[in-house]
Amino acid sequence: MIERRSAAPGTPGDALDAGRIAPRLAALGAPRGDVDPRAQPFMLAVLEDRPFSRPGWLFEIKYDGVRVFASRRGADVELRGRSGQVVTARYPEITAALSALPASRFLVDGEIVALDEEGRSSFQRLQARMGLSAPRDVERAMSEVPVTAIFFDCLALEGHDLRRLPLSERKACLQLVVPLLGAVRYGDHVEERGEAFFAAASERRLEGIVAKKAAGAYTGERSRDWIKIKCHLRQEFVIGGYTDPQGSRGYFGALHLGVYENGRLGYVSKVGTGFDEAALKRLWTALEPLARSTSPFSSRSPMGRGHHWVEPRLVCEVRFSDWTRDGGIRHPAFEGLRADKRAEECRREPTSPAEGALRGSRPASKDLHGNEVSQPEDSRPKRASRSVRPEGLRAGARARQHRERDDVAARMDSAAPEVVQRTVTVTNAQKIFWPAEGYTKGDLIDYYRRIAPALLPYLRDRPLVLTRYPDGIGGKSFFQHDAPAFAPSWIRTARIYSSESRRDIEYFVVDGADALAYVANLGAIPLHVWASRLGSVDRPDWLVLDLDPKGAPFADVVRVAQALRQILGRLELPSHVKTSGATGLHVLVPLGARYSYEEARSFGRLLALLGVEALPEISTVARPIRSRGGKVYIDFGQNGQGLTVVAPYSVRPLPGAPVSCPLRWNEVNAELDPSRFTIETVPDRVRRVADPLLPVLSAAVDMTAAIERIEKRLR
């Protein structure tokens, strides 16, 4: 176990610790000498793709921040980053805390981080501090984005050079100087139990862990004495260009990324997700002065129109799910610029010795959901890493999930590894949810269990928004975007940044029947899903046109739906239809995650206008009800990131317990009655009728060709 010492939160240490420093150094026989941070390289870790447990190894949290050497010589304190840049003035609270430590001379290694509400390091949050230099800006940002420095190694202390001492001894010295809590903190660890520690890190949505050989010296190089294992892959890339913006997005569409190999910059991929409007503007401002006429990439550079090139000087961090066989990356998401790393240092980080030699030949494995992951499926936890942003995060899957709570950095609780029991205790099963019909909460949960095989394909990998009715359809209701803190660990969640609410939202992601039963037990009647999946959160799988009557006869809804089907058919586009579960119909067009939400919305508007052109007497695109004149509203506005549609087979909180039901097109006729599809009738229908909507999950259209056909028609 880790030896702990008492220290009040925020205090640097105590007289006892200060008095123990000199005897400890003498007992260790640490040689006299100073270590110059200007000449000392950082110790770096090798990337591996699976955790391990092993005697003689320590396991630490991997933080998502800015690496620094912190040095003190009397009253002089300095913070120096990996690029060699001195960043002391950016973090006054760290400098002040270092000045109060009970040692007058030291050199320590650690990470400056910005912690979120749950104590996790957030690189996106830290970016608000990284580029500041004006004292007034720094002072304002200190209250808005407080930072913490977590130190995990000690290279020199009170005139002694500790670099050749074992890591365990260096950390023991560090622990005498740096407190457990406060602006400056000791980076704690667990011993031997790396697999349980990794599972705990994944469960708590951390970036990953670092395994370190307890007997290892500080060599100042990338060494297998330090091994990092990420809960999802992440590394730095060089920005070599960008694409034209599409739809309503400004500045640029995607960044072109590369890494150096044998002194040449090779193209890897482009990244078009993870930007909000402010980030787009900041990047554009940084990219404009670097413009050049030719591609900086020596191999695999994109060709054709719409590409713009820049000098390869900017470095960004990108999160992704895996490397491809041809050297690209899957499902990338932008995390932020890295001013602390030089472009020439950006090389592909091998995930194993063999992979490092083969450079991309390692095939991707798949988890139990079919997601591609960067390690065998039996070595990752079932639940998604809850530190995800968007973000777009993928979960590893396994039947057993270990939990560990060794008191690490005051964030991870202690529990022995255990088997995760997926049990849902139904509460208040007899509570009446539909008074007229007498349907209970238990009936709702039973329906969702019975319909799960048909419903889950539409929920899997998608952020889910609940509307909860704890007292049934006659009581109060409320939306729930965030999964509650008390949700069991085996239910998958995904953290995605919302530019509208300006915060991260922790969405449920329902991948199994037990998770479906759990959200139903919360009193969630309708289930609303995103059109996109976690691996491509900015590219929808379908486009939806919501036919909303609001006073128009349902017969007109049927006519408008059939008109849209004919229009789409002439454009050689497939279309699918389902009831909304209320009074309307949803017409869906598969997009195959090929296009952005902006493109989907623009194309949806064009299709809606064509529908109104075909039936102007009964259809409209006017949103205000008073402006519709009793016509069917063709709503294309739900095609946006973060906007949702009621899931197929979802129940609606209306009399009769109706269900949003997929239909065959020949059922969309004058005899169609949406109220016939209920929690009583739909399970039997699913047994008899193959789901006609399933192709919307896998098919795709050529939007460009369709627009060209429309243009020819208008000539």
Query: Distance between CA 93 and CA 356 in Å, rounded?
Result: 40
Please tell me whether the overall predicted TM-score, pTM, comes out greater than 0.95 for this model.
Answer: no
Buried b (16+ CB within 10 A) or exposed e, 594-609: bbbbbbbbbbbbebbe
Query: Distance between CA 373 and CA 497 in Å, rounded?
Result: 22
State residue 379's pLDDT score.
Answer: 31
Query: Distance between CA 54 and CA 624 in Å, rounded?
Result: 65
CA quadruple 687, 693, 698, 700: dihedral, nearest 10: 160
Mode of pairing for the β-strands spanning 585-590 and 503-508: unpaired
Query: Distance between CA 633 and CA 646 in Å, rounded?
Result: 17
Domain boundaries, the chain: 15-230, 233-354, 432-536, 542-708
Q: Which of 342, 341, 321 is nearest to 330 (CA)?
A: 321
State residue 553's pLDDT score.
Answer: 95
**Average of per-residue pLDDT across 608-618:** 95
- What does R_g of the chain's alpha carbons equal in angstroms? 28
For residue 275, which amino acid is it?
F
Query: Distance between CA 458 and CA 646 in Å, rounded?
Result: 10
Hey, which CATH number is domain 233-354, 2.40.128.90, 3.60.15.10, 2.40.50.140, 3.30.365.10?
2.40.50.140
Mode of pairing for the β-strands spanning 333-337 and 190-191: unpaired
State residue 18's pLDDT score.
Answer: 63
> Is the pLDDT higher at 352 or at 310?
310
Residue 222 CB burial class (10 angstroms; 0-12, 13-18, ≥19): middle
State residue 422's pLDDT score.
Answer: 62
State residue 512's pLDDT score.
Answer: 87
Enter the CATH code of domain 542-708.
Answer: 3.90.920.10
**Average of per-residue pLDDT across 81-104:** 93
How many C-beta neighbours within 10 Å does residue 155 have? 22
Q: What percent of the chain has pLDDT over 70?
A: 86
Residue 715 confidence class, pLDDT cut points 50, 70, 90: low
pLDDT, one tens digit per residue, over 639-650 is 999 999 999 999
- Could you tell me if 391 and 498 are in contact, meaning their C-beta atoms sit under 8 angstroms apart? no
Query: Distance between CA 459 and CA 443 in Å, rounded?
Result: 21
pLDDT, one tens digit per residue, over 214-244 is 999 999 999 999 999 988 777 899 999 999 9
pLDDT at 393 over 50: no
- Could you tell me if 106 and 177 are in contact, meaning their C-beta atoms sit under 8 angstroms apart? yes
Query: Distance between CA 702 and CA 707 in Å, rounded?
Result: 9
State residue 372's pLDDT score.
Answer: 33
CA quadruple 165, 169, 175, 180: dihedral, nearest 10: 110
pLDDT at 410 over 70: no
Residue 362 confidence class, pLDDT cut points 50, 70, 90: very low
pLDDT, one tens digit per residue, over 313-329 is 999 999 886 777 678 88
For residue 140, which amino acid is it?
R
Residue 388 confidence class, pLDDT cut points 50, 70, 90: very low
Report residue 55 as tokens.
Answer: 């005697």
State residue 498's pLDDT score.
Answer: 80
For residue 288, which amino acid is it?
E
**Average of per-residue pLDDT across 266-291:** 90
Q: What is the 3-state secondary structure (H, E, C) of 294-310?
A: CCCCCECCCCCCCEEEE
For residue 656, which amino acid is it?
G
pLDDT at 501 over 80: no
Buried b (16+ CB within 10 A) or exposed e, 433-454: bbeeeebbbbbbbbbbbbbbeb
Fold agreement between 15-230 and 233-354: no
pLDDT at 532 over 70: yes
CA distances from 228 to 128, 235, 379 (A): 26, 12, 15
Q: Which of 361, 398, 343 is nearest to 199 (CA)?
A: 398
Residue 484 confidence class, pLDDT cut points 50, 70, 90: confident
For residue 709, which amino acid is it?
R
**Structural class in CATH, domain 432-536:** alpha beta
- What value does the mean pLDDT of the chain take? 84
Query: Distance between CA 96 and CA 114 in Å, rounded?
Result: 17
- Could you tell me if 150 and 66 are in contact, meaning their C-beta atoms sit under 8 angstroms apart? no
Residue 376 confidence class, pLDDT cut points 50, 70, 90: very low
Q: DSSP string spanning 2-46?
A: -------TT----HHHHHHHHHHHHHHTPPB----TTTPPPPEEE
pLDDT, one tens digit per residue, over 141-166 is 888 889 999 999 999 999 999 999 99
- Could you tell me if 233 and 250 are in contact, meaning their C-beta atoms sit under 8 angstroms apart? no
Residues identified as active-site = 62
Q: Note the CATH architecture for domain 15-230.
A: 2-Layer Sandwich (3.30)
Mode of pairing for the β-strands spanning 585-590 and 105-113: unpaired
Residue 511 confidence class, pLDDT cut points 50, 70, 90: confident
Residue 350 confidence class, pLDDT cut points 50, 70, 90: low
